[in-house]
A = this chain, B = another copy of it.
Amino acid sequence: MTEPELRPRKTPLQTRSKATCAAVLEAAARILEAEGSHALTTNRVAERAGVSVGSLYQYFPGKEAILAELIRGLRRDMVLTMRRAADLGREESLASTVELMVAAALEHHLTRPELARALERVEAELPVDAETRELKGELRNIVADVLAGHGIADAECVAFDLVALCHGLSSAAIEAGEKDINGLTLRLKRAVLGYLIAEPAGTGR
């Protein structure tokens, strides 16, 4: 099984190329959120992007590469948003910082919920490329750093759990059609702070 190339073919420097590239990505995103991944065909993407299939293949080695790039884009955004939240919360109480970060995490599900959902599913079926893996690690590191800064033990593992648990909760809520974002933020905060407060179980007796 030869892994398909997931990187763009060339990093376009010229203006026109960049525009084409962006148009392709945006077209793919729109199809993905409107009709799901089964409707994403290269021909349709090209058409929607106002570009010929040939041109599409000029910039992306294949369909998967487009998806991979969309995923990287989303992940980059997440890392950026999260880093900003972490920075803002640097001098704050743990509770406040958690609130900021939870809001940041939610943002990702709120701006283009269908796109986020679709990409998540796609991501699970695609071989993870190096950059994506790195970005995921980065995200957890940001959280871990914040936790460590507040003296929380075993920050890395806790960060992992908190990210996962937030992800599960917000995905489910958004998918269930939850509209009350404030309420959802509070529930996420409760989950996070609860986890942090609860004594690491297993110590008991």
Contacts and interface: CB of A to CB of B under 8 A. Distances in A.
Interface string A21-34: 00000000000000
A13 interface: no
Contact of A167 (B172, B183, B196): B172
Contact of A172 (B164, B169, B175, B194): B164
A165 interface: yes
A164 B160 contact: no
A160 B160 CA distance: 21
Query: Copy number in this complex?
Result: 4
A interface SS class: helix
Nearest to A175: B124
A176 interface: yes
A76 interface: no
Interface string A55-92: 00000000000000000000000000000000000000
A187 interface: yes
A122 B201 CA distance: 34
Contact of A189 (B117, B157, B201): B201
A186 B201 contact: yes
Interface of A: 2, 36-38, 95, 117, 121, 124-125, 157, 160-161, 163-169, 171-173, 175-176, 182-183, 186-187, 189-191, 193-202, 204
